[in-house]
Structure 1
């Protein structure tokens, strides 16, 4: 997004779908194909779907919305999010608005280094074999590069090697090859490297060849983001202190850390789906990283500073702006145009910022009115639109007690969205 385009679009949530599309069109971010795709409703043709996976019988749609107010590394960003859950987009937008007042999110991503693994079993003297493999580093990296010449021509390729003895007694050894994959997510590239190098690894080390595949725990492809937010933006010092105490709770207790991280991933996953990323790999890597020290910990933390809070997050994040769904899915191409990331590293920082915003929104709700009040108002808004019905088409009766509890809130639903930050 160019510097003169703002991610704050006043009253966006009040507009009808056609007016929202006109507002986005006026920003000049989308080409004609992307605009036509969104104007048509954003569906995926079944002929395209049939090429994307197997046994296709139809397509399954998710709502596509925009999180607003994000400013990341001094650039305003519109964040497309595909999600069925009410409140996720509104909450992220609201938290981004709070952080924006203090300058927005800042972040950096490591070079796009993926990890290829080659497994060996029954290796005689595994420690000595590991030493031989380390000594053969140059030839092994060259063999890996030879398998991916086009990536090497674009400036990528194999960068490092590590031999790890997992069990000297059983002779289990694994070789890691670290491969720079440019703006791709890189799974296919590193799988190619692993398979190409495996025979040479076996000749050097001996033993029985096992798996040859990437690892989704991409510890050399981390992203780190930070944000500050003022007490008055959050609703006062008491709320800010409550957020910090909730964050400390997650640091001390893995049961809480699990739900804390789920709140972080709520926003990140929704943006990843909209942008055609492998959210399953992202989830696996994030949770493995949270437990890498032997105890499951939060991916993000919030600490008190004078007059506010500072939030920090760090996690592995392998994403791509080329390849995969970007080649065939018009909606993914439109989403990438909206977010405007020029590289995979820039995209990773945006996605991690969305995670941190979602985490802040959840903790603020927990530290103030509780998570249910606003969340369930938005659920009821979905029900009021006819989401719950009987097989005969009549509106379904709410579960016992829900009707009375939410009846008065139906009229408040649009206000709830506004207060949650859905576009203001």
Structure 2
């Protein structure tokens, strides 16, 4: 057991890390080493760039990078770059894009761009006294003493938009916040916001301790706990929607437009009231959003956290999308809280991220937010469309069939035969396995 504990792992070079890992966790065989090294990039400069994105890097983990074409968004045609490993996501997005192409396409707009951060602190004293001191003295000081940090952002049209004192002591004894609101323009803004908050904390602590408003007991019972941005940004919001006359909702199966619209609306309303369904419903939405987020070098974990928090903001987890039928028109939309950037992070470093932004016509951060919302709406439309008509498995398992065949080690000739056999048949791992075994037995008999 002690041999598996290592000091100074981060100081080893990549080859040394792999050799140690292979010896301790790979049984000493060359198999693990070969797997890890075969995914190195042959371009040494590019590999060095990848190695420096994170810590203790030993290899690259590749995801498929696909394109969903024919998205009509605000009267312009886009193709969406999507990085995702799940079968049918890119195909579903493209199918939705095609469905809405001659029905007006997707319409988007920005509903807000405010991002938030907080100083979390404990104060045992008179809340009204603290609030008055904050308004008269502290708020102006916080802004003034962070001006060096905000100078460049202010020159780009962003910066601090508001600072508030929030009393949360009814939820946790003696707990208060300084809530900062920010506009970070084209950057995601995490480093900017956190730097401002930490400067706020320094100013806040110094001003509080030297103030003659508070007595010694209040000063002794004051403690800043932490200063950090929030990934929940309900005032940084993009809307994407589609709409058309009900009679134009003609599908390629035997269901009337009226029945399609009614069943679709019922499916969305079920997700609005039933958390068990909403979780899967929203997961599908995030399939589309996350794949665009990954392709453009943004933080999909932050986007996920924000979206699911917003889905719960009423106190019950619910659907991120909504549907209405009014005056013989069908309308389907998403209001998505999302914070993205097109500068900073990997956006100017990762070659495929640079390519993705170029493919999207180098959008602003606000435009990228709207594009991501479209990806989520398109994915959700495709999923519900399948669920209320043919069922989800027909399309998904057809896309998954290639993965099953590869897992079973089929030859190219066997792949062609199996794909042909399952053109119209129900697909499952067990059934594909049986067909492949049958095929191999027949071929063995022929060879004899």
Q: TM-score range by the shorter chain?
A: 0.7 to 0.9
Corresponding residue of 1:193? 196
Cα contact 2:265–2:323 (8 A) shared by 1 = yes
* Greater RCO (CA < 8 Å, at least 6 residues apart): 1
Shift of 1:347: 0.6
- Aligned counterparts, 1:12-161, within 5 A: 45-135=46-136, 136-161=138-163
TM-score by length of 2: 0.75
* 1:218-257 deviation line (CA, Å, top 9, x unaligned): 1221111111153214753222322111001011111111
1:163 aligns with 165
1:75–1:142 Cα change, 3 Å: farther
**Aligned twin of 2:232:** 217
Instruction: Give the equivalent residue in structure 2 for 1:269.
Output: 290
1:44 Cα shift? 9.4
CA gap 1:187/1:102 in 2 versus in 1, 3 angstroms: same
The answer to whether 1:184 aligns with 2:187 is: yes
What residue is the counterpart of 1:334 in the other structure? 355
The 3-state SS of whatever aligns with 1:45 is helix
In 2: Cα distance, 1:372 partner to 1:262 partner: 16
Q: Is residue 289 of structure 2 the alignment partner of residue 232 of structure 1? A: no
**Larger deviation, residues 81-90 vs 198-207:** 198-207
Judge conservation of contact 2:79–2:360 (CA < 8 Å) in 1: yes
Matched-pair contact (CA < 8 Å) for 1:268–1:351: yes
Separation in 1, partners of 2:376, 2:44: 26
| CA distance 1:318–1:406, shift in 2 (3 Å) | farther
Structure 1 position 400 matched with structure 2 position 421: no
> Which digits, 9 at most, give the CA deviation of each residue in 1:7-56, with x for residues without a partner?
xxxxxxxxxxxxxxxxxxxxxxxxxxxxxxxxx99999321111110000
Which SS does the other structure have where 1:302 is aligned?
A: strand
**Number of residue equivalences:** 363
- How many angstroms apart in 1 are the aligned matches of 2:44 and 2:436? 33
Match of 1:419 in 2: none
Partner of 2:373: 352
Deviation at residue 131 of structure 1 after TM alignment = 3.9
For structure 1, which runs of at least 5 residues remain unmatched after alignment? 1-39, 409-424
C-alpha separation in 2, matches of 1:144 and 1:387: 57
Q: Are the structure 2 counterparts of residues 307 and 93 from structure 1 closer, same or farther at C-alpha, using a change threshold of 3 Å?
A: farther
**Are the aligned partners of 2:150 and 2:160 in contact in 1 as well (CA < 8 Å)?**
no
Summarize deviations over 1:329-358 as a string: whole Å, max 9, x none.
Answer: 001000000011431001100110010000
TM-score, L = length of structure 1: 0.79
Secondary structure at the counterpart of residue 52 of structure 2: helix
What is the Cα-based RMSD across aligned positions, in Å?
2.7
Whether the aligned pair in 1 keeps the contact of 2:408 and 2:433 (CA below 8 Å) is: no
Q: Does 1:173 align with 2:176?
A: yes
Q: Look up the SS of the partner of 1:79 in the other structure.
A: strand
Q: 1:404 offset after TM fit, Å?
A: 5.3
Structure 1 residue 102, shift from structure 2 partner: 1.5
CA distance in 2, matches of 1:161, 1:70: 40
Q: Structure 2: where are the runs of 5+ without partners?
A: 1-40, 209-213, 416-427, 439-448
